[in-house]
Amino acid sequence: MKLLKSFITNMTYAIRAGVLFREKPTLHFYPEIQKCPVCDSTPHIQKTDKKTVVTMDIGAFFAKYAVSYCPLGHGTFNSEQLKTLAPKGGKFGYDVIIEVGFALFVHCRSNQEIMTELAAKNVFISEREISYLGRKFIIYLALTHRQSRPILRNFLTSRGGYILHVKGIVPIYFVALTDSQNWSWIQSKFLQRKKMRSFPFSAA
Residue 188 in 3-state DSSP?
A: strand
Per-residue pLDDT for the chain (204 aa), expressed as one digit of tens each?
555 555 445 555 455 555 556 688 999 999 999 999 999 999 999 999 999 999 999 999 999 999 999 999 999 999 999 999 999 889 999 999 999 999 999 899 999 999 999 999 999 999 999 999 999 999 998 888 888 888 888 887 787 766 554 444 444 444 444 444 444 444 444 444 444 444 444 444
Say how far apart CA 20 and CA 58 lie, in whole Å. 9
Report H helices in 40-126: 80-85, 94-105, 111-119
Burial category of 169 from C-beta neighbours within 10 Å (exposed 0-12, middle 13-18, buried 19 and up): exposed
**What end-to-end distance do the CA atoms of the chain give, in Å?**
60
* Predicted pLDDT at 21: 61
Residue ranges of alpha helices (H) inside the chain are 2-14, 17-20, 80-85, 94-105, 111-119, 127-147, 149-158
What ranges do the domains of the chain cover? 7-91, 92-147, 151-203
Q: In Å, how far are 94, 117, 125, 132, 184 from 111, measured between CA atoms?
A: 18, 10, 10, 11, 37
The values of phi and psi at residue 77, to 5°, are -135, 135
Query: Dihedral through CA 17, CA 20, CA 23, CA 28, nearest 10?
Result: -80
Look at residue 53 and give its three-state secondary structure: strand
pLDDT for 91 equals 95
Give the model's pLDDT for residue 145.
84
Residue 85 near residue 53 (C-beta atoms within 8 A): yes
**What pLDDT was estimated at residue 10?**
54
Is 129 within 8 Å of 119 (Cβ atoms)?
A: no
